[in-house]
Amino acid sequence: MESVEKMDIELNEQGLDGSPVCVKKMHLFEHIGPLAAAAQSYGPKRTHSRLLMSIYIVIFKARINVLVPFGPLAVVLHYLTGKHGWVFFFSLVGIIPLAERLGYATEQLAYYTGPTIGGLLNATFGNATEMIISIYALKNGMIRVVQQSLLGSILSNMLLVLGCAFLSGGIVHSNKDQVFNKAAAVVNSGLLLMAVMGLMFPAVLHFTHSEVQYGKSEVSLSRFSSCVMLVAYASYLFFQLKGRHNLYSPIDEEENQNDDVDSDEEDAPEITFWESIAWLAVLTAWVSILSGYLVDAIEGASEAMSMPVAFISVILLPIVGNAAEHASAIMFAMKDKLDITLGVAIGSSTQISMFLIPFCVVIGWIMGKEMDLNFQLFETASLFITVLVVAFMLQEGTANYFKGIMLILCYLIVAASFFEHIDPNSNDN
């Protein structure tokens, strides 16, 4: 039996989509240090040491996990004091490291599934926090909170996340304009405009009072449009996975060239395939628990902090839910990998608008809740203008720090607008 120092793993397997997972070599326990000696034997002892290493990597190695205790404190405060303002704040802070760790576990899983499926997994689990919060709010009949939090996630991804990524990448690479593939950006922009169409017609139908049946026609239209949008998103997934790969081949080739330059620690996964799945399950469960307390405290927190529910739903909740996307988008932009940055920011917005929002309408239909696509005139106009601004920013296929500043300033205008906005349907919550 060879010693641990001589045990190298050749990570040259094929992912689920047939692409090579990784071509680097790494020592099995090179990132763990003191725990490496405990893993020299096989059997139960090795399994136990592997578990300890996995816990160390996911929990203790990340500095952001110092915020994890805020979650249990929120639960304790809920039962001891009942002060919704503090429960909301502690739940909000406690979810931040969980969202970031969800992103990390998804990235680790992507090493084994390949880049295409990995990108879809990254977008899906990156939006897991928003999905869980939305389902809890929908179950409690807080339809406006669901609508506004999902809208806020789209606005946050397209303006704040993408703006910070462009700004950071532009500062690091100030001597040039960063370049990304325009084809993928155009496809996503088209899907976002289709989502705006799906949201706009129910709102126009409502505010022009031209429904066949008042209060029912917009719900029926929303459910039909949601089914169409889900079919469109499924077609988009098929296009990505089985369709014209040559459209995205420049991205793949550039990534492969950059990967050859990166270090072993950057390319090699730190946890195994099944450990990644297990951590995704554990983290999702804990996010689900905290989301329940967070949603229950929203209205009380709004009164305690003298802050509109619309501002909490559109601005505060998405910033927490997008913690993973925010960190990874900036990191990839600073490494001059803007195609991945756009996949994280714009891809996440596309998934929310074309999948998560219609999915919530269908789930509300099953629950007997009249969740619709009528996001009211103010919210729909905000989304429409945001999509137009971002589409114009992306049409050249280049990025720099000035574009990043412009997107961030646009987000500040949106945030200030919702702070002064009174929800006309606040009684529905």
CA–CA gap between residue 275 and residue 391 (Å, rounded) = 39
CB atoms within 10 A of CB 55: 14
- pLDDT band of residue 164 (cuts 50, 70, 90) is very high
- What mean pLDDT value characterizes the chain? 78
Which tokens go with 423? 């929800």
Q: What is the mean pLDDT of residues 119-145?
A: 78
pLDDT at residue 36, as a whole number: 39
Total number of residues shown for the chain:
429
Amino acid letter, residue 82: G
Q: What is the pLDDT of residues 259-295, one digit of tens each?
A: 444 444 456 778 888 888 888 888 888 888 888 788 8
CA–CA gap between residue 147 and residue 151 (Å, rounded) = 6
Q: What is the pLDDT of residues 362-394, one digit of tens each?
A: 999 998 888 899 888 899 999 999 999 999 988
- Which segments within 240-342 are labelled E, that is strand? none
- The DSSP bridge pattern shows strands 25-27 and 8-10 to be antiparallel
Strand, coil or helix: 179: strand
CA–CA gap between residue 253 and residue 65 (Å, rounded) = 35
CA–CA gap between residue 372 and residue 199 (Å, rounded) = 9
Q: What is the DSSP string of 359-405?
A: HHHHHHHHHT----S--HHHHHHHHHHHHHHHHHHHTTSEE-HHHHH
CA–CA gap between residue 350 and residue 383 (Å, rounded) = 12
CA–CA gap between residue 316 and residue 258 (Å, rounded) = 35
Of 67-76, 109-118, 251-260, the one with minimum mean pLDDT is 251-260
Q: Are 402 and 289 in contact (CB under 8 A)?
A: no
Q: What is the mean pLDDT of residues 100-115?
A: 76
pLDDT above 70 for 181: yes
CA-CA-CA-CA torsion sign (38, 40, 44, 47): positive
pLDDT at residue 248, as a whole number: 44
Q: Which residues, in sequence order, are CB contacts of 392 under 8 Å at separation 6+?
A: none
Axis-axis angle for helices 273-296, 70-80 (nearest 10): 30
pLDDT above 70 for 345: yes
